[in-house]
Structures are given as structure tokens and as C-alpha cells.
Amino acid sequence: MVPAAGRPGPARRLWRSGLSMIETLMAAVIMAIGIVALVVAARSDTQVNAAGRELTQAVFLAQQLREWTLTLPFSDPDPQDQGNPPGSDEGDPHTFVDDLDDLMDVTFSPPRDATGAALADMQDWSQQVTIEWKDPDCLTTTVEAGSSDVARVLVVVAHHGRCVWETGWLVARRESQ
């Protein structure tokens, strides 16, 4: 018997009922692209989380230094050292800090906490401190070191030598000083 025109015969029906090689290959390619996209997304998520943790740690270290600077006297409490120029009065500021200007141009590695104690478990981190004295009538104007009652503390927090966070704040001499 001869099939009617336009109707497939038994051999053609079997061939059309399965998947062709091209269809199978295309499905495999689409699946591979999906899997690669998931792997890339997971890796990207991990990198973003690591960067977020690093930034959070840097902000914490800057906050610790800020808390410390706000508790320090603005000028040297020791009457014998009051005439000294700004900067560390006695030796190394890593071991002795008794007023704000002792922190001038100092880098702490390991960084310091809010009491000035070294955070020994953070060897890969550092806090670089710079102090600028500001004109109280125009805070954008920098004046000679130690000649003003207002100072701007600038801090750069670095991890493995790479800057992660930069910030600054003003500190003013309190009335009791």
C-alpha cells in the first residue's frame, strides 16, 4: 500500500518521534551555559562577601581609633612637655601616648583599639594617622601644627598594605584643658 500524499510513511514517523542529534547537542549546550552561569554567580557572591567583610573590619578599626582620639587630652598633660612641638614627647608612640598630638604621622601595625592597646591578632592590618591643625573660624584652612584648638585627624586603614578605608574627624580642645 502506498501512503497518501503528504502523510509520512512508517519509516518517517519513527525518525520524527525521537530527538535529533542537533536537538540533543543544543540541549547540552544550554545546560552547560546554565551551569557555568551558576558557578560564576557563586564565585562572584563569595568575592562580594569577602570585600564586605574587609570593609566592615576597616570601618571598625577606624571607629576604634576615633574613640581613642576622643578620650585623649588635646594637649600634653605633663607641664614639663607643654612647650614641646607637636609629636611624640617620649620615645616611640607605639609604646607611649598621653595626648592627641603624640599620634601625629604614626602608623600602627598591628592596629589599636579604643584604649590604645594593640590588636595582636590583626597583623595584616594597619592604621595610618595624620593630624592637621585647623583654623577654628574656617575649618578648611590648615594652620601651623599646634597653633589651634581644633585638629583634624585623618586615618587610612589598610589590609595587606592596600587602602581599604579612609576617614577623618575633627577634635577640639575641651574647656577643662
18-32 confidence digits (pLDDT tens): 678 888 888 889 999
Name the residue with higher pLDDT: 46 or 65: 65
Q: Residue 1 pLDDT > 60, yes or no?
A: no
Buried b or exposed e, range 142-175, using 16+ CB within 10 angstroms: eeeeeebebbbbebbbbbeeeebbeeeeebeeee
Residue 24 CA neighbour count, 13 Å, CB half: 4
Is 51 part of a structural domain of the chain?
Answer: yes
Q: How far is CA 118 from the centre of its chain?
A: 19
Q: Per-residue pLDDT averaged across 3-25, rounded? A: 65
pLDDT interval class at 127 (50, 70, 90): very high
* Burial classification of residue 7, based on how many CB atoms lie within 10 Å of its CB (0-12 exposed, 13-18 middle, 19 or more buried): exposed
Q: Residue 44 pLDDT > 90, yes or no?
A: no
Is 21 part of a structural domain of the chain?
Answer: no
Q: Which helix (H) or strand (E) holds 69?
A: helix 21-71
Number of H helices, E strands in the chain: 2, 5
Is 17 part of a structural domain of the chain?
Answer: no
Is 120 part of a structural domain of the chain?
Answer: yes
Is 29 part of a structural domain of the chain?
Answer: no
Q: How many structural domains are present in the chain?
A: 1
Question: What range does the domain containing 109 cover?
Answer: 44-172
Is 159 part of a structural domain of the chain?
Answer: yes
Whole-number pLDDT of residue 16: 57
What is the tens place of the pLDDT at every residue in 143-176? 998 889 999 999 999 999 999 999 999 999 887 6
Is 18 part of a structural domain of the chain?
Answer: no
Is 65 part of a structural domain of the chain?
Answer: yes
